Amino acid sequence: MEWRPSGYKLSTQDLVHAIFDKNSDAGKMLVKACYGDIELFAANKSWNAILWLITSTLKVDGKPVYTGPELGKLKASLPIVWRQIA
């Protein structure tokens, strides 16, 4: 049987804290996931909330700072397994 790290499911609120507050418990878990010490899971709809938050708040001259492709790269770079959770 193959070894796997312990897994944890992040709520939308946890995901916001993980991405925007590295000193939060969720932020520390994100760092651990980067090292492969744990595995993180989150719902696809949680990513939609992050997208809304980034595009609504991070603007210059009324335009979003990040493009769609840049946001796609951000999602792909996160050590999170995205799941369709009902």
pLDDT of residue 85: 75
Torsion of CA 42, 48, 22, 36, to 10 degrees: 40
pLDDT of residue 4: 83
- Run of H or E including 8: strand 6-10
Burial 15-38 (b: 16+ CB within 10 A, else e): bbbbbeeeeeebbebbebbeeeeb
**Is the pLDDT assigned to residue 1 strictly greater than 70?**
no
pTM, to two decimals: 0.85
